[in-house]
């Protein structure tokens, strides 16, 4: 038993770095703190089975994805089927645990949203971005950005006065978006990354859905295409010119291709620095240099 748990821990350590504990091989989901993650958090998970061929799975709630592990290669079809069964059982456990965590976070988000006050239009982040508060609320000194899934408030993004952002721990992000304006026939829908970019576009008359990050652009776009099959979609992407591979542009193009949509990026003046990446950056830069 000890040899198997050590081998399984070796597999975990090959991904997450040194761990000072041994896995519990009881066939249930366990959480653990991922080295270099925030202190006190337990974003890692694993499950290890000992009966038959020892096998298991592990991953991170934060980064997503999962890895599987087996102590040896199956000798025949029966053993192979047993391993597949265990891996499928681990997947179902992981999904059930994730759903439980997301439901708990959604309930918390809904309580916070209900009890929060309207956002202060003079909040430091809004002033810095040069946009209105729109549908935001505020809890303490943090702005609350609502994220919806299937029309239900599923999570919140918290924005501090210094612009740092955090989602509620354990909540759904993939496929969630923050809307601005009503999606109406004959009017295009812009899908962007950050909320400030969405506010900038909405203040110029566009209906917007904010996906919050590049990795969520395509999932949100697919969700909205399924819900509004005839609406014209424009992916208003970030242009990460100073980042290798330009992840903003890459993600925006992929999302547009996935639904047959259009894509638009900021049209940078020749003198604009490469540190500017999105439509809000362009708006603020042009406002600052209007008299030059």
How far is Cα 98 from Cα 173, in angstroms, rounded to an integer?
Answer: 12
Q: How far is the C-alpha of 176 from the C-alpha of 288, rounded, in Å?
A: 33
Q: Please write the tens of the pLDDT for every residue from 169-186.
A: 889 999 999 999 998 888
The model's pLDDT over 81-134, given as tens digits with 9 standing for 90+, comes to 887 888 888 888 888 888 888 999 999 999 999 999 999 999 999 999 999 999
Structural tokens at position 200 = 């900038």
Q: Is 165 left (phi over 0), alpha (psi -120 to 50) or beta?
A: beta
CA–CA separation, 212 and 157 (whole Å): 9
Mean pLDDT to the nearest integer, 134-160: 97
Give the single-character DSSP code of 106. H
N residues, the chain:
292
Per-residue pLDDT band at 153 (split at 50, 70, 90): very high
Token duo for residue 178: 């923050």
Q: What's 216's DSSP letter? A: G
CA 148 to CA 53: how far, in whole Å? Answer: 42
Residue 221, pLDDT above cutoff 60 = yes
| DSSP-derived 3-state class of residue 194 | coil
Distances (CA, A) of 107 to 44, 119, 137: 23, 21, 17
269 SS3 class: coil
């Amino acid at each position: 038993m000890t040899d198997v748990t050590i081998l399984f821990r070796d597999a975990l350590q090959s991904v997450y770095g040194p761990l000072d504990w041994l896995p519990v091989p009881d066939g249930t989901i366990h959480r653990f703190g991922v080295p270099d993650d925030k202190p006190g958090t337990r974003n890692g998970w694993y499950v290890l089975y000992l009966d038959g061929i020892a096998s298991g799975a592990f991953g991170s709630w934060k980064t997503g994805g999962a890895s599987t592990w087996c102590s040896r290669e199956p000798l025949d079809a029966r053993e192979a089927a047993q391993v597949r069964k265990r891996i499928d059982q681990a997947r179902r456990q992981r999904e059930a645990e994730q759903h439980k965590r997301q439901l708990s976070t959604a309930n918390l988000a809904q309580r916070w949203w209900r009890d929060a006050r309207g956002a202060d239009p003079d909040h430091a982040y809004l002033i810095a971005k040069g946009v209105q508060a729109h549908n935001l609320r505020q809890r303490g000194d943090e702005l609350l950005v609502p994220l919806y899934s299937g029309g239900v408030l599923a999570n919140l993004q918290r924005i501090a006065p210094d612009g740092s952002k955090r989602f509620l721990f354990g909540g759904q992000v993939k496929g969630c978006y923050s809307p601005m304006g009503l999606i109406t026939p004959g009017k295009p829908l812009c899908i962007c990354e950050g909320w400030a970019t969405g506010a900038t576009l909405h203040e110029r008359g566009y209906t917007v859905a904010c996906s919050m990050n590049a990795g969520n652009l395509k999932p949100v776009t697919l969700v909205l295409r399924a819900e509004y099959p005839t609406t014209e979609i424009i992916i208003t992407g970030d242009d990460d010119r100073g980042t290798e591979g330009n992840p903003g542009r890459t993600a925006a193009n992929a999302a547009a291709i996935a639904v047959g949509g259009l894509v638009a990026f900021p049209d940078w003046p020749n003198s604009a620095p490469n540190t500017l990446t999105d439509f809000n950056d362009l708006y603020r830069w042009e406002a600052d240099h209007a008299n030059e």
